[in-house]
Structure 1
Amino acid sequence: MGSLTQLDLPSNFLTGPIPSSLGNLSELQQLYLYSNNIFGSIPEELGLLRKLWVVQLLDNSLTGPIPTSIGKMVELSDLKLHINKLSGPIPTTIGNLTKLTTLALYLNELCGSIPPSFGNLAALSDLLLQENKLSGSIPSTIGTLTMITRLSLVMNELSGTFGYMAPELAYTMKVNEKCDVFSFGALTLEIIMGKHPEDLISSLSSPTITIGDLLLKDELDQRLSLPTNEAAGEVLSIAKIAIACLHTIPQSRPTMQQVSQELSTWKSHLPNTLHTITFGEVVDLRVSTI
């Protein structure tokens, strides 16, 4: 058995716990035990299987925490533990799995926050954490996962924004041009502000927080002198475009073609001073000119 590379036993009415002796199968690369009646905890010994690249234990009755030793399986690309009764926090060590493309932990009883180490999962395309008991702020590192095509965090108690990622992606799980436009807007604001615009993005989407009276000049990169004359008009035009790209209604965001046209056209009618321009006026410009 020491040379076994694939253990494929799904939908076999298996019952009982996963034996810790599974950790002796040092050559194992694929583990399929889904859709059985397996209960008990996931053994820590699973982390000894450094050649595993597929682990599918979904649709069982597993309980207890996800073992931290999972973070040692550095070849892992497919981890599916959904539809169980797993509890406790998500291990930060999952952030070590840089080859991971699919992480499905939904329909469990996981609690605590999403580890910021998830930002290390550069290859991740599917992140499915819905229907748990997760809470706290969504780490901004989630927004750096450029390969994401399916993301679901619904039915948790999470708050915050998604960094460069369009917020609706967590609900629709569909990547489209409007998501790319949102990312462009967030990145553009970061460039002119000198910091990630997380608070500003949250304010734009909040019905209770107003930024209308906030001066644009106070949010620009304070390490640089305030632009004047033609440069001021250009900064205002860029801010207007970026704010338009962050519209909470995806259909109301411009297309990238419209963004390109706006960037290539000088707006001589825009003010050439930023001393008194508020974000409310920037938003009004967005509505009237894009």
Structure 2
Amino acid sequence: MSNQGVALGGTLFHFGIEGDYGGVWFNVIPGDNKRLSYYAVAKAFGGSAAQPGVNTPPRFASMSIDNASAVAVGSKATIHANVTDPDGDAITYHTSLNSIGIDGATGTQEVPFTQTSPGVFQIDAPSRPGVWKVYVWAEDGHSNVGVQTVDMRVVPPAVAGTNIALHKTATASSFDQYNGNWSPGQAVDGDLSTRWASNWDDDEWIQVDLGSVQSFHAVQLVWESAFAKGYQVQVSNDGSTWSTVKTVTDGDGGVDTLDVAGSGRYVRIHGTQRGTAYGYSLYELGIYQ
């Protein structure tokens, strides 16, 4: 180049730690904080910020989450972050989450944390199962920030007993036939990446044929974002006459684990009020004996 140190243009990417999942055009200080990339650019172009003695961001040597592959909904997730500041500055921390792997969301949402010891933080696991990105932000009070992220898989809490609905025959009042495979069997296949989705009406249901009259002590519903605010758990011996063993009027989505005693060959979840403008959608319907 004849004009050394002059750039015609470029895009700075912060893959994995960028917060908005894209290139930041000419913005080397996203969020008004300087990251290590800022000082790398300064060094490449000979800026004053690359001179010896300049205050630089905290460094992450490592970051991990206990039992990261199976953190139960609503439990405490424990984060271990090995962070140091090269200038000896006091570090202020923030924690945040992102659900891009679940719903394609961009940006991060700050969540409260408790620091139990140096470099150890606890946050509440989200109510929605799936893979979440967990961020720790380390600020030094001099407009510098270090950022690190790791993945955490959030799973429904374990239920005692055997899931007698698993791989049984499921039917429903309706299912979405146009946007994918949202048939009722998807809610009893043991796979949290598949789901049943109904038409967009309040009065919809999904039922499972257990094959014979059986008793159970718990029902677990793993909702997609289209959840039921109101619904009934019903049982039947013949698939025609139904008895209600549980009524819910304050559902808020996520995972519902219900202590409910019942007996029947058929178990039905009968929606009475949608929680969103869409229908009802279940990743899994578990019935435990």
**Which is richer in strand?**
2
Q: Higher Cα Rg: structure 1 or 2?
A: 2
Would the TM-score normalized by the shorter structure come out above 0.5?
A: no
Point out which structure has higher relative CO (alpha carbons under 8 A, 6+ apart).
2
**TM-score by structure 1 length?**
0.26
**TM-score by structure 2 length?**
0.26
